[in-house]
Amino acid sequence: MENKIAKLIELVQKLPENCVEEAIEYVIGKIEENTNNKAPPPCPQCKSEKIKRNGNKKGSQRFLCKDCGRTYSETTNTIMAYSHYGEAVWKQAIRDTVNCIPLEETASSMQLSHSTAFNMRHKILLALESEEIREPTVLNGVCELDDTYVLESYKGSKLPPDFWRKPRKHGAVAQKRGISNEYICISTGVGRDGASYSKTVTRAAPSKDDLIEVFGNRIGEEALILCDGATSYAALGENCACPVQNVSVDGAKSGKGFYNINTANSFHSFIKDKYNQFRGVATKYLNRYNALFSKLFRPSEDLADEIYKLLTSNDLQRHKSVNDVKSLNLLDI
- Mean pLDDT confidence for 161-168: 82
Comparing 121-125, 265-269, 285-289, 310-314, the range with the smallest average pLDDT is 310-314
Percent with pLDDT over 90 in the chain: 33
Return the pLDDT at 255: 43
Instruction: Name the band, by pLDDT with cuts 50, 70 and 90, for residue 33.
Output: low
Return the pLDDT at 1: 47
Return the pLDDT at 203: 92
183-232 per-position pLDDT tens digit: 999 999 999 888 999 999 999 899 999 999 999 889 888 888 888 877 88
Please check the confidence at residue 256 and state whether its pLDDT lies above 90: no
219-240 per-position pLDDT tens digit: 888 888 888 877 888 888 776 6
The highest-confidence range among 95-99, 224-228, 298-302, 312-316, by mean pLDDT, is 95-99
The highest-confidence range among 33-37, 267-271, 310-314, by mean pLDDT, is 267-271
Return the pLDDT at 297: 93
Return the pLDDT at 253: 46
Return the pLDDT at 2: 62
User: What SS3 string covers the chain?
Assistant: CCCHHHHHHHHHHHCCHHHHHHHHHHHHHHHHHHHHHCCCCCCCCCCCCCEEEEEEECCEEEEEECCCCCEEECCCCCCCCCCCCCHHHHHHHHHHHHCCCCHHHHHHHCCCCHHHHHHHHHHHHHHHHHHHHHCCCCECCEEEEEEEEEECCCCCCCCCCCCCCCCCCCCCCCCCCCCCCCEEEEEEEEECCCCEEEEEEEECCCCHHHHHHHHCCCECCCCEEEECCCHHHHHHHHHHCCCEEECCCCCEEECCEEECCHHHHHHHHHHHHHHHHCCCCCHHHHHHHHHHHHHHCCCCCCHHHHHHHHHCCCCCCCCCCHHHHHHCCCCCC
Instruction: Name the band, by pLDDT with cuts 50, 70 and 90, for residue 330.
Output: very high
Return the pLDDT at 279: 86
Instruction: Name the band, by pLDDT with cuts 50, 70 and 90, for residue 318.
Output: low
Please check the confidence at residue 323 and state whether its pLDDT lies above 80: yes
Return the pLDDT at 293: 95
How far, CA to CA in Å, does 314 sit from each of 75, 89, 140, 308, 322?
Answer: 7, 19, 30, 12, 19
Return the pLDDT at 254: 45
Q: Specify the CATH architecture of the domain 138-289.
A: 2-Layer Sandwich (3.30)
72-111 per-position pLDDT tens digit: 887 787 888 888 888 889 999 999 999 999 999 999 988 8
- Mean pLDDT confidence for 13-27: 78
- Mean pLDDT confidence for 15-40: 72
105-144 per-position pLDDT tens digit: 999 988 899 999 999 999 999 989 988 988 899 998 889 9
- Mean pLDDT confidence for 285-302: 91
